[in-house]
Amino acid sequence: MTDPTPQNLIDQLDGLLDVERRALLNGELDAIAAIAEEKEQLIDALNAIQPEQQPPLKDLQSKVARNQVLLDGALQGIRKVAARLAALRRIRRTLETYDAAGRKQTIQGEVDHKVEKRA
């Protein structure tokens, strides 16, 4: 197999950025890891090209920036879901109330995960 030309590498990266964008917009977060790996390989191949032979990458900058905004949004959403799930787990274990003086009180609850068999 022959080495791809610098322009071929850029075209592949351009197409991959479009695939990444579609995956992010469709919530296909499991595909992002594979895309990131392939993107890293293409970037490494571009970095291996002699500087005087490297084509300009200005056209890809806007796509990379656009995808970064989408990635940041996806990560923010994942963090919010994780925080919400942690709060729900905490609620199941404790009950927080206020006494007559307005002081916060926490009542610890015990979750019993045993199954009792009766004959």
Would you say 67 and 20 are in contact if contact means Cβ atoms under 8 Å apart?
A: yes
Check whether 72 has a pLDDT greater than 60.
yes
pTM of structure: 0.67
> Where are the chain's structural domains?
6-82
Q: Which amino acid is at 39?
A: K
Q: What is the pLDDT of residues 19-70, one digit of tens each?
A: 999 999 998 988 998 999 999 999 898 888 877 776 777 778 889 999 999 9
Distances in Å between the Cα of 98 and the Cα atoms of 91, 101, 108 are: 15, 8, 14
